[in-house]
Homo-oligomer: A and B are copies of this chain.
Amino acid sequence: MAKSEGGGSGVVGALVRAAFLVDAVYAESAREFGLTPQQGQLLCVLLGRSYVMGELGGVLRLAKSSLTGLVDRSERNGLVRRESCEGDGRAVRVLLTAEGEVLAERFYAETCRRIDELPAGLSEAERELLGGLLGRVVLDNKVPPVFGEQ
């Protein structure tokens, strides 16, 4: 089947299927914390630091209106709050609430644990190798800090 050449068994297919797998595990973990994947992602991004809306939109790669909605719902759920920016009356800063912080920590830790199980069939050296190669791909493509490390 000609189409296996690109998407089939090579690195391309593997990347897409790995994304499918990670998304499923991430969604399942989020669900058990009463979160949607998008909400979980927002909490992970805000763990450790706050962002103004414009930055956040860039990190999450969302349209402004989509981000407004996501923050609205998360604020309504008591997980985040908005603050005015001192230097700019137009800008709004988004931070985790105390409750949001706790939930984010727990969700993040549990999701790490679950994702960590995915490469269980690889040796320690192979895990390091995979992490290194994938890390370079992610670095080269300038992926924002959507999961840890910010």
Contacts and interface: CB of A to CB of B under 8 A. Distances in A.
The number of chain A residues touching the other chain, given as a range, is 35 or more
Interface string A29-73: 000000000000000100110000000000001000000000000
The interface centre, meaning the residue of A10, A109, A129, A140 with most chain B CB atoms within 10 A of its CB, is A10
Given A7-B148, A148-B7, A115 B48 contact: no
Nearest to A121: B140
Contact of A143 (B21, B112, B128, B131): B21
Interface of A: 1, 3-4, 6-24, 26, 44, 47-48, 61, 105, 108-109, 111-113, 115-116, 118-122, 126-131, 133-138, 140-141, 143-144, 146-149
